[in-house]
Amino acid sequence: MEAQIEKAASLLCRSRVSLALTGAGISVESGIPDFRSPGGLWERYDIIEYASITAFQKNPEKVWTLLSEMYDTITHAKPNPAHLGLGRLEQMERLHTVITQNIDNLHQEGGSTHVIEYHGNFKTLSCLSCGSKYPIEDVVDRLPPKCRCNQILKPDVIFFGEAIPPEALRDSYELAAACQALLVIGTSAEVTPANTIPGVAKQAGATIIEINLQPTHLTESVTDLFLPGKAGEIVPQLVAAVEADTSRR
The answer to whether residue 169 forms part of the interface with ligand NAD (CB under 6 A) is no
The answer to whether the beta carbons of residues 217 and 189 sit under 8 Å apart is yes
Cα–Cα distance, 226 to 208 (Å, whole number): 8
Side-chain-side CA neighbours of residue 94 (13 Å): 24
- Choice between 40 and 146, CB closer to ligand NAD: 40
Least Cβ distance, residue 148 to ligand NAD (angstroms): 28
The answer to whether residue 238 forms part of the interface with ligand NAD (CB under 6 A) is no
- Choice between 60 and 229, CB closer to ligand NAD: 229
176-215 positions binding ligand NAD, by CB under 6 A: 186-188, 190-191, 211-214
- Choice between 119 and 202, CB closer to ligand NAD: 119
Give whole-number Cα distances, 79 to 56, 73, 97, in Å. 29, 13, 17
- Choice between 134 and 226, CB closer to ligand NAD: 226
Point out which span in 24-32, 88-96, 128-136, 139-147 binds ligand NAD (CB under 6 A): 24-32
Least Cβ distance, residue 157 to ligand NAD (angstroms): 7
- Has 96 been annotated as catalytic? no
Sign of the dihedral through C-alpha 153, 159, 160, 161: positive
Grouping H, G, I as helix, E, B as strand and the rest as coil, residue 155 is strand
Cα–Cα distance, 96 to 86 (Å, whole number): 10
Question: Which member of 90, 104, 156, 210 binds ligand NAD (CB under 6 A)?
Answer: 104
Grouping H, G, I as helix, E, B as strand and the rest as coil, residue 34 is coil
Give whole-number Cα distances, 84 to 26, 188, 190, in Å. 11, 22, 25
112-141 positions binding ligand NAD, by CB under 6 A: 119
The answer to whether residue 83 forms part of the interface with ligand NAD (CB under 6 A) is no
- The residue type of 24 is A
The answer to whether residue 32 forms part of the interface with ligand NAD (CB under 6 A) is yes
Question: Which member of 8, 18, 25, 107 binds ligand NAD (CB under 6 A)?
Answer: 25
Least Cα distance to 73 among 24, 132, 108 occurs for 24
Contact set with ligand NAD (CB under 6 A) = 23-25, 27-29, 32, 34-37, 40, 101-104, 119, 186-188, 190-191, 211-214, 216, 230-231
Active site residues: 119
